[in-house]
Structure 1
Amino acid sequence: MIGRLRGTLVSKQAPWILLEVGGVGYELEVPMSTYYDLPAAGEAVTLVTHYAVREDAVALYGFATEAERRLFRDVQKVSGIGAKIALAVLSGSSVGEFTRMLQTGDVAALVKIPGIGKKTAERMIVELRERSQSLPLPASGSGAMPVDAIGEASIALQQLGYKPAEISRMVKDAKPTDSAEDIIRAALKSALRS
């Protein structure tokens, strides 16, 4: 329906923005990840969008990147999850950080996102792990959200060609005090033994 809008940002009041395109004002709901990247009111902005029609409402959501929109759509494919939780996911973590949580099976980090309990987090990991492999992971040292040693090791193991399920098994005995190098070394040794 409406896939992208380019226009002038009229106003922003989290999580809502008003975007004027050709004399028409579109009210969009945006995640905080997009909201923080918006320019000042009166400036031009381009957003990819998701148009949703429900029994009781029509909604338009805006995203700064295609990866954010894709994650928003993918998260809603998990049974029991709607737009509200999908927006919370994007407001609580970057696409890369959320991808890391899925691929490393980090239930503890997922339950910190509002609206996600332990069972929902586990269901998200099972249902989204495969799909998330094509989403970007956080770049080490990129200024993005900090990644702990286990996350850093998991990313390195993924780049070496290991699958998320293998990585989860390989890093399960890691201690929070271990360095990423120690975790990788131990994981590779355990992989050689099996």
Structure 2
Amino acid sequence: MIGKLKGTVDEADEESVTVDVHGVGYVAFCGARTLAQLPGRGEAAELFIETYVREDMIRLYGFATKAEREWFRLLQSVQGVGAKVALAVVGTLTPGDLANAVALQDRATVSRAPGVGPKVAARIVAELKDKVPAFSGAAGEESLGLKREIGEGVAPAPVADAVSALVNLGYSREQAASAIATALREAGEGAASTSLIRLGLKALSR
């Protein structure tokens, strides 16, 4: 079982790269983002590998980070998602983008990956929502729960309004949700949107 390759780039095409490791060329299939990050021919490269062994072939999938490899594995736990689709998803979205899309139940973002239609995207965000590790940072689990409520349209109006206001000020949805989760802990349930916005901005300025 091969878990990592460290060598030099021999050649690359639109789907794969050949890594020369002490004179042996290993062909690894990679997503678009990983291929774009690879150095030029003859330069040092390192890939985290997922090895597939079947009766008729052995295939290596390469990733720039361990997180991308974990997402590749996790995506294939979703009904109807095989290696090809999983590779397209991690080749289009960063691990952070994926985690955020699942937390927000954002099917549109997942649908940006080639070959991923609305139905598959819906299954991905639905089936993975309880499998994705909690977000780190100021709000942790509360932030993750809040993002799910916002994405599913069930967050209280003042909360949704406060997040929307911060997004309109130029903050990302993730930053806004984390800040408002922090604000909710301080202000308590039932706080007005104006109070949440003020406290959210305070949290963002720290």
Structure-1-length-normalised TM-score:
0.75
Look up the match of 2:89. Answer: 89
Look up the match of 2:30. Answer: 30
Look up the match of 2:43. Answer: 43
Look up the match of 2:190. Answer: 193
Change (3 A) 1:186 1:20: closer
More relative contact order, 1 or 2 (CA 8 Å, 6+ apart): 1
Percent identical:
33
Unaligned runs of 5+ in 2: 170-175, 192-206
**Distance in 2 between the 1:161 and 1:128 partners?**
16
Supply the AA of the counterpart residue of 2:189.
Answer: L
> Quick check: 1:70 aligned with 2:57?
no
- SS state at 2:103 partner: helix
Equivalent of residue 179 in structure 1, options 157, 166, 170: 166
Unaligned runs of 5+ in 1: 138-154
Supply the AA of the counterpart residue of 2:109.
Answer: A
| Paired residues of 2:104 and 2:150 also in contact (CA < 8 A) | no
Query: How many equivalent residue pairs?
Result: 174
For residue 4 of structure 1, report the CA deviation from its aligned partner.
Answer: 0.7
**Distance in 2 between the 1:80 and 1:16 partners?**
23
- SS state at 1:192 partner: coil
Name the structure with the higher helix share: 2
- SS state at 1:132 partner: coil
For residue 163 of structure 1, report the CA deviation from its aligned partner.
Answer: 5.7
For residue 100 of structure 1, report the CA deviation from its aligned partner.
Answer: 0.5
**Distance in 1 between the 2:149 and 2:4 partners?**
41
| Paired residues of 1:129 and 1:164 also in contact (CA < 8 A) | no
Look up the match of 1:9. Answer: 9
Cα RMSD after superposing both structures: 3.1
Supply the AA of the counterpart residue of 1:38.
Answer: L
Structure-2-length-normalised TM-score:
0.71
Q: Which one has the largest radius of gyration? A: 2
Supply the AA of the counterpart residue of 1:26.
Answer: Y
